[in-house]
Amino acid sequence: MELVLIMSDIELGKRGEKIAKWHLVNKGYKFITSNWRFGHKEIDIIFEVLNCIVFVEVKTRSDLNIIPDLCIGQKKQDTLIDAANSFVDLYNIDKEVRFDVVLVGIKENTVKINHIEDAFYPTL
């Protein structure tokens, strides 16, 4: 009898966030925190690199087809921007801010990562 385990979306997402964190730390990013919340708003991972605070949204898929369609609509961008503003205000941060997206594809024992720097910009 063959046993097949199916990873839930939450488990898949957490695994993707761990992979994204590992990837960025290996690129020289300094980890600050993960799953930072302000009310109902959440930022997946926050890093510092080159005197810049980087707010990272991680999107994980259960296949390797991670085309950078950005899977992040305007509403999600606005939520991330609001949360980032709260973080900057709360900790009195006087550094540049950047929004990155890390797309992670996981299929069996293969992982594909696509890191998009400056994925979007706050609109005025």
- pLDDT tens, residue by residue, 46-69: 999 999 999 999 998 888 877 666
Contact 51, 96 (CB under 8 A): yes
What sections of the chain are H helices per DSSP? 9-26, 74-90
Q: What is the pLDDT confidence band of residue 3, given thresholds at 50, 70 and 90?
A: very low
Q: Residue 86: what pLDDT?
A: 96
How many C-beta neighbours within 10 Å does residue 14 have? 16
pLDDT at 22 over 70: yes
- pLDDT, greater one: 1 or 43: 43
Q: Residue 9: what pLDDT?
A: 72
Give the global pTM: 0.89
Q: Rounded distance, CA 69 to CA 44, Å?
A: 19
The residues, any chain, with a CB within 8 Å of residue 75's CB and separated by 6 or more, are: none
Q: What is the mean pLDDT of the chain?
A: 88
Q: Residue 46: what pLDDT?
A: 98
Domain boundaries, the chain: 10-116
Q: Residue 4: what pLDDT?
A: 45
Q: Rounded distance, CA 96 to CA 9, Å?
A: 33
Q: 10-116 is classed in which CATH architecture?
A: 3-Layer(aba) Sandwich (3.40)
